Structure 1
């Protein structure tokens, strides 16, 4: 059985290696460049669906031409046909920290000037742009007609009450909108007050404001990227192995457990995160798993010998949550997972059947080892596989603690290797 595991793991490794070129595949999409002289150049742009705003792009005049590398210094902007549009701008950016721990060390506002590609969200009399910086802080910028591009400020800060540091948020952008950009539309003030510092909320507000400012001007409104949900049926087998550490249960620590095949079935829910070519996903799975394993022990010394079999049976519900990274490709999508598992045992049986002999007596034993094993188990999960159309094939390794948590004198390590197939309904 150990050889079988080795062959399967090597096969998975080779599969990932042979798909390496697939992992790094470009995604050239019809688009255009705006040069520093304001010329528009049509062609193909490697569309990475950036989460953080890019500082360079790869471009080809056509599918047969060589790749050209353009930096932000060489362009005034770029865009995709029926897709994202990025505009180069020199702006002042609020780089004040957002985390409480950082603000305790540096509470002063930090404003820097930088040259960036801003992602267009709304284009009209009022235009809205977005920037996600290197620290994953969101920034929104506003422009009226062809005037200056200003950041709409939301800033965290620390204040003290009775010498105790407290955390606060200043929603300065609401006053900017009320008194600088939309001061002639007091009927929008209540909506401004309710507007959160998010793409969807600010886009909705600016869209409505544009219909008031100048209905004749053509407006471009970008669809906000949303996550996708996929539901699936999971079936497979798991092979489970135990190792025990204890000073008082020698027959447990001396037992060599065999890998036994057990069925499992469940349902999965995958949330595919937007942008970044949908490479990242949050994967959740609820499954019924059966765990049956046996092992033999043989204990001998000068005056005593004992041989027997340990049997462990468990039925349990397992909830697994993982972060999934996929290498996107039209034909197949290799992926890797890492996350946590929590298992609840509906039934657990641990039994020893043994024959014992000393100098004077010989007896047989058939009894429960642990009368009240724990019901909960936690574990770490890693794995990988390939998705083809609506189906995935996956190998997963789970390292857990077993169900012995009330027994502090016994340490258990449970290793489960699962081979799974998932069919997605949508």
Structure 2
């Protein structure tokens, strides 16, 4: 694990260079006069998108930077749209908010500096906005099972009363608000129903999120260790650094949160362990004598990780964490212990190996989009497995550390 943590700074060194890169896409800006100017807009992280718009009329022209006070809004062709709106609060702060729904009641989204999402709602396109809040709090409540007050987690829904007041002229939607959770798809459906009820039409509603699938190719280096227990002697075996490569799928179902995705991979790796050491012989006529041992373990396997990935940011660079389960199919194995006792020769014993295994994986990485083709990944991952030999006390405690680069085709 310490080696794994030492690799993380290497990933962080890549981030500043990636952040400095531009990510221009076809889009537009909406000027204060109401005129639309089309060209290319720089798409970065959501935190940067809310504060700054970088626009150029064409790829060969100069980039102009706009703050929320200087535009009515901007957007990307076939993608996200942003409006400049004043945020509620004591300070008169403006921000570019992502438009989710427009109509008699409008809904907006932004990502704050701490990577938390914030939803805002208001009348039409110019009226004051209200922050929609849902939070968990701890209260003291009587617990009948123990006969006294205990700390209990309670969820509060202040946003429900705000939506009920905002949509008071449409009784049809009030029943939906009573038990509503602060979730994007639920909010979109509510605002669509209300705007149809109140105005007869919906000016705009963000398209429903569709399932996205990307195909990945990966390769890198892999280092692993095993714990061997033999004749009451325990020793650690360290494999030579080897190559690891394979393919995978990155799936983002439409019903997932946009920062979550499922990752399925198939990776080929060959591990070669070899160590010579001194150990005591137990049992038999030679019990208690020192002997020289030579252990050889060769494992060729297919790794099948099934992971959940959480991406912190969206834009020029996208750090992510992932965790999950790993199944192994050992396609070829060779394991033996050679014991050499002075004057008695050498005894070779084969170790019966498993054909399948099971473990866990934890990883961190950085994804860098490369236009509309796909994205480049660099990651470090650590793995732990239940055992490698049929007799689990002989070869156990398998641990692996990988550093991989990959490319995922697909938006």
Instruction: Please state which band the TM-score falls in when normalised by the shorter chain.
Output: 0.5 to 0.7
2:186 matches 1:190? no
- Measured after TM superposition, the shift of residue 379 of structure 1 is 4.5
Q: Distance in 2 between matches of 1:174 and 1:323?
A: 31
Question: Which of 193, 203, 206 lines up with 1:222 in the alignment?
Answer: 206
Q: Which runs of 5+ in 1 are unaligned?
A: 1-12, 94-110
Q: CA RMSD in A?
A: 5.3
2:120–2:129 CA contact under 8 A, matched in 1: no
Quote the residue 1:174 is aligned against: 160
Which is bigger in relative contact order (C-alpha 8 A, separation at least 6)? 2
User: Which residue of 66, 69, 73 corresponds with 2:65?
Assistant: 69
Alpha-carbon distance, 1:240 to partner:
6.1
Q: Distance in 2 between matches of 1:308 and 1:390?
A: 51
Cα offset, 1:34, TM superposition: 2.5
Q: Distance in 1 between matches of 2:335 and 2:88?
A: 70
Q: Note if 1:116 corresponds to 2:95.
A: yes
| Cα shift at 1:183 | 2.9
Deviation at 1:27, TM superposition (A): 0.7
d(CA) in 2 for partners of 1:131, 1:390:
26
Contact 1:119 1:130 in 2 (8 A): yes
3-state DSSP of counterpart to 1:92: coil
Residue 307 of structure 2 is aligned to residue 321 of structure 1 = yes
- Aligned residues of 2:28 and 2:41 also touching (Cα < 8 A): no
- TM-score normalised by length of structure 2: 0.66
In structure 2, do the counterparts of structure 1 residues 315 and 272 end up closer, same or farther at CA, with 3 Å as the change threshold? same
Matches within 5 A, 1:134-213: 134-135=113-114, 136-144=116-124, 147-162=127-142, 163-178=149-164, 180-193=165-178, 195-213=180-198
Count how many residue pairs are aligned between Structure 1 and Structure 2: 378
Alignment of 1:354 with 2:338, yes or no, is yes
Alpha-carbon separation, structure 2, partners of 1:200 and 1:164:
35
Counting only pairs closer than 5 Å after superposition, residues 20-419 of structure 1 correspond to structure 2 as: 24-35=21-32, 38=33, 40=35, 42-48=37-43, 50-52=45-47, 54-80=50-76, 83-92=79-88, 114-135=93-114, 136-144=116-124, 147-162=127-142, 163-178=149-164, 180-193=165-178, 195-215=180-200, 219-226=203-210, 228-230=212-214, 241-242=224-225, 244=227, 252-253=235-236, 257-258=239-240, 268-271=249-252, 282-287=261-266, 293-297=272-276, 299=278, 306=292, 308-313=294-299, 318-321=304-307, 323=309, 339-340=322-323, 342-344=325-327, 351-358=335-342, 361-368=343-350, 375-381=357-363, 399-401=382-384, 403-404=386-387, 412=397, 414-415=399-400
* Aligned mates of 1:258, 1:425 — CA distance in 2: 35
CA 401–368 in structure 1, closer or farther in 2 if over 3 Å, else same: farther
Indicate if the aligned counterparts of 1:142 and 1:152 stay in contact, CA closer than 8 A. Answer: no
Structure 2 residue ranges without an equivalent (≥5): 1-9, 143-148, 281-288
Assess if the C-alpha contact under 8 Å between 1:322 and 1:337 holds in 2: no
Paired residues of 1:289 and 1:315 also in contact (CA < 8 A)? yes
